[in-house]
Amino acid sequence: MKKAILAAGLLMISGVVLFAQDDKLLYKDEVHFKNIKQYTFKGENAEAYWSFDNKSVVLQITNEEWGVPCDQIFTFKVADGPISGKPNRVSTGLGRTTCAYFMPKNKTVVYASTHLGDKVCPPTPDRNTGRYVWPIYDTYDIFVADLKGNIVRQLTDRKGYDAEATVSPKGDLIVFTSDRSGDLELYTMDLKGNNVKQITNGLGYDGGAFFSPDGKKLVFRSSRPKTDAEIADYKDLLSKGLVAPTNMEIYTCNIDGSDLRQVTNLGKANWAPFYHPSGKKIIFSSNHHSPRGYNFNLFMINEDGTGLKQISFDGVFDAFPMFSPDGKKIMFSSNRNNGGTHDTNVFIADWVE
């Protein structure tokens, strides 16, 4: 790896300029980040989300060195600083888990797990087919656990995909993705798993939904195939428990499904959206600017689809952005500073408007 120390305390790595010294994790054009810190090291650390009181983080981790061969759910306190060892696990350690989120009062978390279907990690898709796909495991159900790892409630109980749950800032609703209609749609339920309502109904993968700061809207990613060939391909993959997340755009709607709007029309994969604290803009991850589609960065866009702006500038992968509930910090997962490995880690920075 080519390195050269430049003037004014800058460092060049592989032709990309980073700030050295105190801001060595920060790329030159990342003007909205300040005091950036890396909180995890080694393994796959992603989908990290804040507690309601801004003090803790829940995330999913795969780390062979810890005996965690596929994603399990962990928590840590931000004030404790970077994780030096294995953090507090709140999932069972069995099966595979995904998409954890703190519940109101910060004493429990909601997450999806396959452990009732099988105690071992479910098989992953064959990566030698030349096509990138995500598995939609039909053994995923949604659970609530306390911070000691005890399951206190099971929110869904059916054969099929129920996952990707997040909680409204108002503390009254959970949004999640399910295939119970035969397609992958968004649903809401109350905090006890009752009053389930279908929110979206367009053919395609609707997922990764989050509430707006006032709890009145949802932002999510969607594949929405249009041509006969795209529709046939989508249905064929879904019948095999798979989706191809290579063509997705960002949508919003009211929490009852009304006023559905497509926000982006960029092509390639636009996903992991989250509302800006103002409720008027959306931050998301995209590879639309990448000639071969390999690198993802964070972008910001107005709700009406105007004002697109690039926020992060890592050369490989930045995704899963989330603003802290008080709007002062931003957290995301990135491949930066991983020594050329495939490690993905969690970073937290002060947000600068």
One DSSP character per residue, 12-39 reads EETTEEEE-GGGTT-BTT-TTEEEEEE-
**CATH superfamily of domain region 31-351:** TolB, C-terminal domain (2.120.10.30)
10 Å CB burial of residue 231 (0-12, 13-18, 19+) is middle
Ranges of the chain whose pLDDT falls below 50: 1-22
Q: What is the DSSP letter of 103?
A: P
> Which residue, among 209, 211, 206, 171, has the nearest Cα to 191 in the 3D structure?
171
Residue intervals in the chain for CATH 2.120.10.30:
31-351
Q: What is the DSSP letter of 283?
A: E
Long-range Cβ contact pairs of 11-15 (< 8 A, separation 24 or more): 14/315
Long-range Cβ contact pairs of 123-127 (< 8 A, separation 24 or more): 125/242
DSSP state letters, 124-193: PPPGGGS---EE--TT-EEEEEETTS-EEEE---SSS-EEEEEE-TTSS-EEEEE-TTSS-EEEEE-TTS
Host H or E run for residue 234: helix 228-239
For residue 105, report the phi and psi dihedrals to the nearest 5 degrees.
Answer: 80, -10
| CB count in 10 Å sphere of residue 77 | 12
Round to whole Å and give the CA distance between 164 and 157: 15
- Please name the residues in contact with 295: beta carbons below 8 A apart, sequence gap of 6 or more: 287, 314, 315, 316, 317
Q: What pLDDT shows up at residue 320?
A: 98
Q: What pLDDT shows up at residue 23?
A: 58
Q: What pLDDT shows up at residue 3?
A: 32
Contact 101, 164 (CB under 8 A): no
Q: What pLDDT shows up at residue 5?
A: 31
